[in-house]
A and B are shown apart, each in its own frame.
Chain A
Amino acid sequence: MAKSVREKENTNVIICGVGGQGIILASDVLCYCASLAGFDVKKSEVHGMAQRGGSVITHIRFGGKVYSPLIAQGTADYILAFEKVEALRYAHYLEKNGEIIVDNREIPPMSVLVGEAEYPADIDRRLTRMGKTHFIDATSIAAELGNMRVVNIVLLGVLSRFLRLKEKHWRDAIRKNVKEQFVDLNIQAFGRGREIAG
């Protein structure tokens, strides 16, 4: 089965959340980091209307040779989610032994705010049923660091503990993709993410 061998060779990561949370930046950093490690890399995302506070998903794949920029359902090694309902929305991408890393944050969508839908009360249990799930207080850490925008990099710090990519490459990737005046803050956020991941 040539196919399954190749699928194993590649690492598949889904990053998802709400438009405006810095998902694209996080994807850029991971993508760049994997390229520094010498892997073939592909990333796919959507822009435009989908980004206006809507549900956002990016696909990142790296390994020996990557064809499709899209991850097939049931083959993601990791889902890095910036919001719980968004983790659940894309949980069917997770591989049987895949893991979910999710910010312990609930952002009710407009459908919930106007009373047309309910935010799932049992969300934590439902996520855990989909795969091994790590709930991370990334928003609180970002608040401690004094900038809510670094939630994305805190979560990348956590993810970095699961991926076999060098810490130096991660830091270089952050420096390359973040605006100069925010580099130190983001490096700090990344470090805090690594710490809490243990």
Chain B
Amino acid sequence: MKSLLSGNEAVARGAWEAGCRVATAYPGTPSTEILENIIKYPEINAEWSVNEKVALEVAAGASFAGARALVAMKHVGLNVAADPFFTMGYSGVTGGLVVVSADDPGMWSSQNEQDNRHYGRHAKVPILEPSDSNEARIFTKLAFEISEKFDTPVLLRLTTRICHSTCLTELGERKEIEVSGYVKDINKRLVLPAHARALHLVVEERLKKIAAQSEVFRYNRIEWGKKTLGIITSGVAYQYAKEVFPEASVLKLSLTHPIPEKMIKRFAKHVRKIVVVEEGDPVLETEIKAMGIKVTGKDKIPLCGELTPDVLKSSFSKRTKAPAKSSKVPPRPPVLCPGCPHRGVFYVINKLKLVVTGDIGCYTLGALPPLSAMDTCVCMGASVTNAQGMEKALGKEFSKKLVAVLGDSTFFHSGITGLVNAVYNKGNLSLLILDNFTTAMTGHQPHPGTGRLARGERGRRIAPEDIARGCGVEMVKVVNPNDLAATELAFKQALEYDGVAVLVFRRPCALLVKPRPPYRIDPESCNGCKLCLRIGCPALSLVFPEHREKPLAVVDEALCVGCGLCVQLCQRSAIFLSRKSDG
């Protein structure tokens, strides 16, 4: 029986089949659907953790207690979780521990395209790289087995085109694995220097054993074709190589750290020329070259950007049949949705010409014109700390035109420590928490501020304003961002305030509330002044009717959700409700 599964659905299925008991994650594209699908299996105790470090440590605790545990995150999430990840490499596991990293080559929804295969090598942890959904399911199960057999966490490394590609996948049944229970072992789990010194020796020995396993691992395999060209590849790049070089011999690597050196040498002996086809950094290429084998790789295939069949083809052939891309096509970058509660805040920021340290979420789109209201975006939580640093360098006066902006989920993820730091170190800071009751960008996952748990059940709600007060902030206000006058007033109070001020702008994500009746524009009253266009709402545009001297603003009623923000900008009261609310 085969089913259509995305790579993420397949990892969830694999975890379930493997008898996984505990699963944790913080949402992040392209990894989010792994936990969203795990939630559908009641046998797995699943949670959205507040960040990736927390998620990995909770999973590690479950492993200590003898349960199979999985933790999923996007590539940059592993930066946050790197500390426990490295230690778990030393401590090893009791119940199998699988760490899933979903990398994002091409940066479809990310701030960098780091190649997390380096992390496996750095932390001395084995890596499995599936090349489609069926392998994602099988490798998740094998990852638990390898983890327990060799007493190590295993890094299951996915990429966007594995996570978000769908193909026919076999389904297996769940095999229950009993939780072995907790047995105290401080030599293994308490990394005092004396213990860690011994553990490091164990880690190096373990890697040798896994290298031997890599030689006989059945998914490290040679597919013989013509011997004139040999391809060494892994992950989704395998599919592209099969497509572009259908006649070549292929060494498909799946357990890619440690690499099977003997198998690679055998392959190299039989083919005339070797090309290493990998997406991202020359990770395999570097190791194979270090073995003294001559290969072609990143000298031909681009290191930056996503690898595609087209990119691979054009790396080796100048001739291409493909038609040219159309020129002069207006770009369509993502935008804040119609009715987005963030829009009012960014409008006011733009109006007051403030410097903004930004953060990661939908609201990063506030950086784009016409709102153009963001100056920096570094990583989760950095809005708070970057602002504090700027004030340290430029003084209190500068902080009067500086705000830090982050979302509710990002605040819980890693904004709180920065806030404590600013209060403790006597910073002057205006922090704006855009609270839309959800983690919007990744598709609406709950977080502590929503009071809902992963499966929708009621949990304990923790309000950002209570946390701010608990951190020692005395100036805390909750504001409706759709009320432009109130928003501007709150800004002024916060900027004048001596010390740390926190403004919580609270209004639910526009995608989570029922749209209200759309607005219309009265052509008699509109004078085409374009004031309403300054909020950058996709539902508003300017037209130039033939029989009219001045342009006319119009509302696309299919897009308008009736938030009423534009109404507050029109000086001529030209924007009105087209019909009464039906309740």
Contacts and interface: CB of A to CB of B under 8 A. Distances in A.
Nearest to B542: A113
Contacts of B325: 92
Interface stretch (B52-60, B162-170, B259-267, B392-400): B162-170
B444 to A, nearest CB: 12
Contact of B109 (A48, A85, A91): A48
Given A3-B246, A19-B334, A53-B538, A48 B329 contact: no
Given A47-B32, A108-B541, A94 B323 contact: yes
Contacts of B320: 73-74
Interface stretch (B40-48, B212-220, B307-315, B415-423): B307-315
B109 A41 contact: no
Contact of B323 (A31, A43, A74): A74
Nearest to A54: B334
B181 interface: no
A47 B323 contact: no
Interface stretch (A115-123, A154-162, A185-193): A115-123
Interface in A21-71: 28, 31-32, 35, 40-55, 66-70
Nearest to B74: A48
A101 interface: no
A163 interface: no
B168 A49 contact: no
Contacts of A72: 243, 308-310, 313, 322
A85 B108 CA distance: 20
Nearest to B167: A42
B161 interface: yes
B297 interface: no
Given A43-B166, A53-B337, A85-B329, A70 B536 contact: no
Contacts of B165: 42-45, 69
B334 A49 contact: yes
Contact of A35 (B168, B239, B247, B538): B168
B335 A52 contact: yes
A165 interface: no
Contacts of A115: 542
Binding site secondary structure of chain A: mixed
A54 B540 contact: no
B333 interface: yes
A48 B442 contact: yes
A18 interface: yes
Contacts of A67: 239-240, 242-243
B443 interface: yes
B370 interface: yes
B29 A49 contact: yes
A110 B29 CA distance: 24
Contacts of A6: 246
Binding site secondary structure of chain B: loop
Given A42-B166, A54-B335, A68-B239, A48 B108 contact: yes
Interface centre among A18, A88, A110 (most CB of B within 10 A): A110
A52 B336 contact: yes
Contacts of B239: 67-69
B373 to A, nearest CB: 14
A128 to B, nearest CB: 13
A68 B243 contact: yes
B385 to A, nearest CB: 23
B330 A118 contact: yes
B323 A109 contact: no
A108 B541 CA distance: 8
Nearest to A3: B246
B330 A117 contact: yes
Interface of A: 2-3, 6, 18-20, 28, 31-32, 35, 40-55, 66-70, 72-75, 85-86, 88-89, 91-92, 94, 108-120, 126, 130, 148
In the A-B complex, the 8 residue pairs with the smallest Cβ-Cβ separation, listed nearest first, are A48-B29, A48-B109, A74-B322, A54-B334, A73-B322, A117-B330, A109-B332, A69-B165
14 contacts: A2-B247, A18-B332, A48-B442, A51-B334, A55-B331, A67-B239, A69-B161, A70-B309, A73-B310, A73-B320, A88-B329, A89-B326, A113-B538, A114-B536
